[in-house]
A and B are shown apart, each in its own frame.
Chain A
Amino acid sequence: MTQDVPPRESSWPGRRRVTRRTAGRAGQYLALLCYLVFLAFPFLWLVSTAFKPPRELGTLHPTWIPRAPTLDNFRTAFDEQPLLRAAANSLLAAAVSALVAIVLATPMAYVLARLRTRFARAATGWVVVSQAFPLVLLIIPLFLVLKALHLVDARAGLVLVYVVWSLPFALWMLTGYVRAVPPELEEAAAVDGAGRLRTLVSVTGPLLAPGIVATGLFAFITAWNEFFFALVLLKSPEKQTMPVVLTHFLGAEGVADLGPLAAAALLATLPSLLLFAVIQRRITGGMLAGAVKN
């Protein structure tokens, strides 16, 4: 006796769902890949250019992989400009200003996030508005103020400006992170007998850590890439920062010493990339830790 084959139609909706889901996932990955390629293109092109000899730069059909890769561009860049000194100056300015910005912004953000007063709302609003001021409006008054303080051509002056410049956004970012920490956790700690300082250090602090790291990274990269203030405020060659030194590879009417410029620019991007690579895991780890506690 033969048995009827069970009707296949009954499994079709399930298969269709799986197929649809797979197609959707593939589409997502494809979109993500396109986005990554789009983001990575300038960097990959920079890497490619940095290793090309001059004759490969002037071709109508450039290749991704240099036909005759060379380190000459790096040699020339180092010969022509004090890149290491500039990198050290940038590193110092960026690290100190990021640290100071975080130290200042964290308690301020805590206050703004926890105080539900008109003042706190107004302060937060002002922080957002202050981001809208164009740089050119500020530079000459700022220059005069710093001159009065004898902080023109001083690294401390530049750090001060970077702190002031990154502080509003850092404050705004951190306020969001503080608000994400439930006050009930602090209340619970207090019920368990923890003092205010203990609560901040042992409960709130670890939950805020990823936010603090992310904000610090933002402040660091803002200062590392900043060009105009460094150009205007620092006069002595030995104090110039990396972005300022990079412009020395440019001539009038947009002409550039392209190979050495690409080599130097590649070196300038490395600290940011390394920092991201090192810190990214900690940001993720910190977020997960916060989630478990919550």
Chain B
Amino acid sequence: MSFSIPKETYSGKLPEITFGSVKKAFFGGESALPFHFFEGAFPHKPLIAFEIQDDVPEDYPEELARVYSSVWEDPVRWAKFCESLGAEAIALRLMSTHPDSKNSKPEQAAQAVKKLISEIDLPMIILGSNHTEKDAEVLPVVADTARGYNCIVGKAQEGNYKTIAASAMAGGHSLIAMSELDVNLAKQLNILITQIGFPREKIIIDPMCSALGYGFEYTYSVMERIRIAGLLQGDSMLCVPMVADVGFYVWKTKETQATEEEIPEWGSLHERAIMWEAVTACSFLLSGAELLIMRHPEAVKTTKKFIEELYGTYRNRNI
């Protein structure tokens, strides 16, 4: 018997996101479930952005500190270091603006952004501190500072999307829209954002990331459901690219911090921590993320190898 490939019929196709001004980066645009090359077109590989912060991080565990402590006092040096590690995009998290951190002012954040975009050619993602009210103050100012640089700005949430989406639109940026682990909430937020005139083609869904072992399966399934709704069920509000903010969640977990002396059966901390990030990232590629925000260079390297192998070695072999 000859095998006829059971193909799905897709009704949607994701918009392509292009960002950056001097150097550009791309993701999205596919017309089938993740890596289903046998039934759809995949114009761009998923993209990994290296995360940096606007001030010395307060909570980076030892494994990360060892990599970045020599450069993390200066975001420009930090970004250049990431570039030397092969970064194709930089995600700047304005952590110092958080009220529990330094509560720095929007203008200070804007200064950091200004300096970075004038000295770094790589495409930029500019992230707030995930504090709903404070982000509503900070992000409009930095979106304006970065006007014309074609960045990705985020994250807009239900409680602050109006100001953030409006300023991202005025600044000509793409927008990350984050909701809490629910397909309908993600859809609802995108409806609200498009209703104030923000183009659907420039929205990136953040369904709320999580780390392996800490709610991982919720993110994984919500992503799968968003992809299925967008591509197979023709729900245009869910038919946009997704981001997985992996490093932020992974490097909070005990698995990235406990030493082998503390918990012998968990094995070597170095490998464990790196792979906690890499496996979380690779899994979310399989459930539908096109953009990953990551921290450890070794984890990025392994994830990149996975992406390259998924794309590079695909031949329409005799199935």
A and B assemble together: no
- List chain A positions with a Cβ less than 8 A from chain B: none
- List chain B positions with a Cβ less than 8 A from chain A: none
